[in-house]
Structures are given as structure tokens and as C-alpha cells.
């Protein structure tokens, strides 16, 4: 059940909140870089992974860029789902 949630529901909810609401609102007032950085930090915090914090901020920043360039929230949602799927697959193969 966790795998299904991580690949389907989580990307939709997280991208809607972090990119669709937070980034969109910030980018109407601030530069892309600042808006992407702040929304990516908000994205990273709930993952509760201090050692992976910078990585979460980085992928969040990339997904902001995808959203900005495409103006389509489905692009970061699908990328996020693929990222989660790949991460789970690699972790499963490692044992």
C-alpha cells in the first residue's frame, strides 16, 4: 500500500501544494529562483530526512522549473511519480 501511495497519491498532493499553490503564489511576487527555493524547502521539510534534505530541495527546484516551463502541473506530477517509482525499485533491489 505504501508503494501505491508513494507513486500515485503522494506526487499529486505534494505537487499540487508545493508547485500548484506555494510556488505559483510566490512566483507572482518574487523571482523564479527565490520562489523555487522557498517552495522546495517547504517540499523537503515534511520528508523528515536531514541527510537527504539538500536532495529534496534540488528535485523540488527541478520540478518548479518543469512547472514554470510547461505551465502544466502534470509534468512535475509525472516526473515526481517516476522519481518515487525509481527510488522504490532501487531500494527493493538492494534488499
Terminal-to-terminal C-alpha distance of the chain: 18
Q: Which of 13, 25, 30, 47 is catalytic?
A: 47
Strands (DSSP E) found in the chain: none
Q: Which of 7, 11, 14, 19 is catalytic?
A: 14
Is 80 an annotated catalytic residue? Answer: no
What is the number of alpha carbons within 13 Å of residue 91 lying toward its C-beta?
Answer: 7
Which of 70, 65, 72, 55 lies closest to 31 in space, CA to CA?
Answer: 65
Q: Could you report the per-residue pLDDT of 23-64, keeping only the tens digit for each?
A: 999 999 999 999 999 999 999 999 999 999 999 999 999 999
Is the backbone of residue 72 left (phi > 0), alpha (psi -120 to 50) or beta?
Answer: beta
Rg (CA), the chain: 13
At 20, the pLDDT band (50, 70, 90 cuts) reads very high
Amino acid at each position: 500500500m505504501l508503494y501505491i501511495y508513494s507513486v500515485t497519491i503522494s506526487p499529486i498532493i505534494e505537487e499540487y501544494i508545493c508547485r500548484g499553490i506555494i510556488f505559483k503564489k510566490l512566483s507572482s511576487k518574487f523571482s523564479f529562483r527565490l520562489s523555487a527555493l522557498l517552495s522546495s524547502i517547504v517540499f523537503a521539510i515534511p520528508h523528515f530526512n536531514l541527510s537527504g534534505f539538500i536532495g529534496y530541495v534540488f528535485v523540488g527546484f527541478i520540478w518548479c522549473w518543469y512547472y514554470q516551463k510547461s505551465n502544466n502541473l502534470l509534468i512535475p506530477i509525472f516526473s515526481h511519480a517516476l522519481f518515487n517509482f525509481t527510488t522504490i525499485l532501487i531500494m527493493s533491489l538492494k534488499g
